[in-house]
Each structure stands twice: as structure tokens, then as C-alpha cells.
């Protein structure tokens, strides 16, 4: 499996964490093919519930045009052309539901009641690339299969990065607010470049060739 997504958590420790992920993934175990698909996942570590897409009750789909698990047919290639999609997760303060928006359309929401403590706030959020593979097997590529080099035509990237504060004002994280983490820099890496230009604005680039990455 290889994926990229945005995520939120209210984690104070792993045992009581609620998490939400939304993005794209190529996961033959789930979809039965090697195409890239739009996906979400959620987890409630207190009640030990959660799943990917609609494999269990939880997420409420409202869009009739954009659906979970849909294949993404236009994918970027190294050196161009480049395709992107917009994603956001925003809490409705009246209901505490977390709404997923993609390509400027509401896709649906995560009801507050599926989470412990109704997931009243997010203490941490981020943007990431992620892979899974069998032990002692070659790891898959992440992103474009190339390490970040500040050129969005080369590596996977996430741009126009913003949080909303408690007053619903957008702000872009400064470099000093961001913790970058790569667990195997031989195979993958991540770089946060902060403000790049007026189009991409704040940019994170990620990816790598995978290969013999150990465990």
C-alpha cells in the first residue's frame, strides 16, 4: 500500500486517541487493483472501532458526485503533467461533526458520536505519505518514487497548507511550528519548505523509491 493524506487527532496518549485520515491510496488488498483511489479512515482507540471508507458504519456520505473509494484516473507523472485535488477537514461547532470537503464539495461527515469524547477538538494535525509492505519484501514507492528536492515536478507534494484556529481564521504553519518526521530516510524523506510562491504557498514535499527498507 502507498498513500498520502491529511490527518487529525486529539491524542494525549495512544490509548485514548481519535484519528481521521483523508487522501488517496493505492491498496490492492482493499480495492483489488493497483489504481489510485480516494479514501478515508477513522479510528477510536477507546472503543476499538474504525475502518477504511465504508467497510464499517461511521462516515456519512452526502455527495452524489464524489464517493469514497472512487478511482483517481488523472495522476501525476515525474516531470509533469501534474494533477492535484483539494481536501479539508473542518468541525461543525453546532454538532461537533467533522466535515470532509474535496474539490470544493462537501463529501460527507464523521459524526461526533462515533468518537470517544465526541472528538471535540484536534490537538494535532498533519500531512503525510505512508506505505505498508510485508516484512522482508521490497517496500513500494511513495509519491512519485523520488526524494523531495524542492521541485514539485519531481516529488509528491502537498500545498496550500492551512489550519483553522478557534476563531475559524486560516493560518499557515511556520517552519518553527512543524515537526518533520521520516522513519526510514534510506527509502523515503519529507521536507517542509514553508512559503514557496503565491500559487503553491506553503508546501510539504515527500516520497522516495522504497526498495529494501527492512522492517
Rounded CA gap, 97 and 136, in Å? 41
- Give pLDDT tens digits for 153-174: 999 999 999 988 888 898 888 8
- Give pLDDT tens digits for 115-147: 988 899 898 899 999 999 887 889 999 999 999
Map grid coordinates 464517493 to a residue.
67
**In Å, how far from its chain's centre is CA 137?**
24
Q: Read off the C-alpha cell for 207.
A: 516520497
3-state secondary structure of 112: helix
Asked if residue 191 lies in contact with residue 204, where contact means CB atoms within 8 angstroms, the answer is: yes
- Give pLDDT tens digits for 58-82: 999 999 999 999 999 999 999 889 9
Q: Read off the C-alpha cell for 67.
A: 464517493
Q: Where in the chain are the domains?
A: 1-130, 133-215
Report phi then psi at 41, rounded to 5.
-150, 155
Amino acid at each position: 500500500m502507498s498513500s498520502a493524506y491529511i490527518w487529525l487527532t486529539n491524542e494525549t496518549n495512544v490509548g485514548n486517541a481519535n484519528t481521521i485520515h483523508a487522501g488517496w491510496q493505492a491498496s490492492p488488498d482493499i480495492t483489488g487493483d493497483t489504481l489510485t483511489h480516494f479514501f478515508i479512515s477513522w479510528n477510536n482507540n477507546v472503543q476499538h472501532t474504525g475502518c477504511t471508507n465504508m467497510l464499517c458504519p461511521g462516515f456519512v456520505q452526502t455527495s452524489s458526485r464524489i464517493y469514497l473509494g472512487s478511482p483517481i484516473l488523472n495522476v501525476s507523472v515525474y516531470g509533469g503533467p501534474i494533477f492535484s485535488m483539494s481536501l479539508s477537514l473542518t468541525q461543525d461547532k453546532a454538532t461537533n461533526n467533522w466535515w470532509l470537503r474535496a474539490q470544493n464539495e462537501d463529501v460527507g461527515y464523521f459524526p461526533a458520536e462515533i468518537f470517544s469524547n465526541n472528538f471535540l477538538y484536534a490537538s494535532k494535525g498533519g500531512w503525510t505519505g505512508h506505505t505498508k509492505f510485508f516484512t522482508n519484501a521490497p517496500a513500494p514507492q511513495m509519491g512519485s518514487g523520488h526524494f523531495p528536492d524542492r521541485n514539485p515536478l519531481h516529488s509528491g507534494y502537498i500545498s496550500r497548507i492551512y489550519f483553522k484556529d478557534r476563531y475559524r481564521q486560516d493560518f499557515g504553519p511556520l517552519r518553527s511550528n512543524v515537526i518533520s518526521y521520516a522513519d526510514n530516510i534510506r527509502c523515503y524523506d519529507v521536507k517542509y519548505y514553508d512559503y514557496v510562491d503565491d500559487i503553491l504557498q506553503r508546501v510539504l514535499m515527500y516520497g522516495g523509491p522504497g526498495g529494501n527498507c527492512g522492517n
